[in-house]
Amino acid sequence: MSKSLERDLDDNLSCPVCLENFIGEHIPKDLDCPHVCCQICLENMPSDIIGGLKCPQCQRVTTIPDGGVPALRTNILARNLAETLSNHKKAEPPHNVKHCAHHDNQEVLFFCKSCKHALCQYCIIQEHASHRYEPIQSLVKFQRQKIGRALQKAQVHINTCKEIDMKVAANEEVLNTKFQKAEERIEQRIEECMKEINTEGEHLKKKLGELKTKALGIVQTQKESNQSRWQKKKDVVEETQSCLEQASDSEYLILHDKLFSKLKMLIEDDTSTVESVSAESGFKLEVCRISFCFEKLFYVELENRSEVNFVRMIYQSLCGI
């Protein structure tokens, strides 16, 4: 049998955990996946799944029957082939026998744990009698089993890390979704607030335009009224001065009472003060209404009350209140 074929058979007829051939106590057991493990490794394999085990190679879960691991189906073909291969190895002369470098034709059968060297029987007698040494075959078997158990535990840790990574990725996705929805709600609220502000702003500008027209109308009416009264009073004063300068004494005495009556009415006429106060009160009332609407609008949008007071102060200063 060629060396490559023998290695391939060894790989396929040995447990992937402990690396022992499926002979003796290492009974090959079929899993629900295409893989096979020995009974000893499956019985010692830790599992967080009730009634099941994960395949150490593909992680697929195998359901354990009521009889436990021994009740799993034994792979008879793998068992027979492994025993045949074992018998073939025993019948053939060893191919990997290493000879001692210090003693001719002596096989290396022992391993010195103290100095980490492979030894023949003469090496032990001559130089390593006081050292700790063991037969290579038994030591290799022990070390293979040790490495196999360590690999099994390492695989468990790898599986745990994979599960944690999946949970972290799921949490990250949830957080991203929540933050995205929150940003969308904020954008939607900003858009709604801007619409409300624009609508209220147009309404305020319209009210301000109406107030301006009304206020200027009052001012214009007052101006025309004052100009009319001022012209009448000027006419009375000019008529009186002309009479004093041009009329004779007899004409003056005839016109005296009439002129004095006009001057008295002119002096006592004080209606402009009442009209001015009335117009100013109406103007302040309308501005206060708009100021209240303005404050109400910005009170909704500004969380800080001081900001509202600041905006109101500026608006009132512009309105002259």
More confident residue, 219 or 28: 28
Residue spans of the domains in the chain: they are 1-93, 168-319
Percent of the chain with pLDDT over 90: 10
The rounded distance, in Å, linking the Cα atoms of 286 and 273 is 21
pLDDT in tens, 8-52: 677 778 888 888 888 888 999 999 998 999 999 888 888 778 888
Q: What CATH superfamily classification does 1-93 receive? A: Zinc/RING finger domain, C3HC4 (zinc finger) (3.30.40.10)
Is the pLDDT reported for residue 276 higher than 60? no
| Residues sharing a CB contact under 8 Å with residue 32, sequence separation 6 or more, in sequence order | 55, 60, 61, 62, 63
pLDDT in tens, 307-320: 555 555 555 555 55
CA distances from 209 to 89, 205, 222, 295, 296 (A): 109, 6, 20, 18, 19
More confident residue, 104 or 68: 68
Nearest 5°: CA angle at 54, between 5 and 58? Answer: 45
Q: What is the pLDDT of residue 172?
A: 92
| Residues sharing a CB contact under 8 Å with residue 310, sequence separation 6 or more, in sequence order | none
pLDDT in tens, 90-143: 655 444 557 777 777 778 778 888 887 787 867 876 777 678 877 877 777 888
Q: What is the pLDDT of residue 288?
A: 56
pTM of the model: 0.34
Q: Quick one: average pLDDT of 150-155?
A: 87
Q: What is the pLDDT of residue 302?
A: 46
Is the pLDDT reported for residue 61 higher than 60? yes
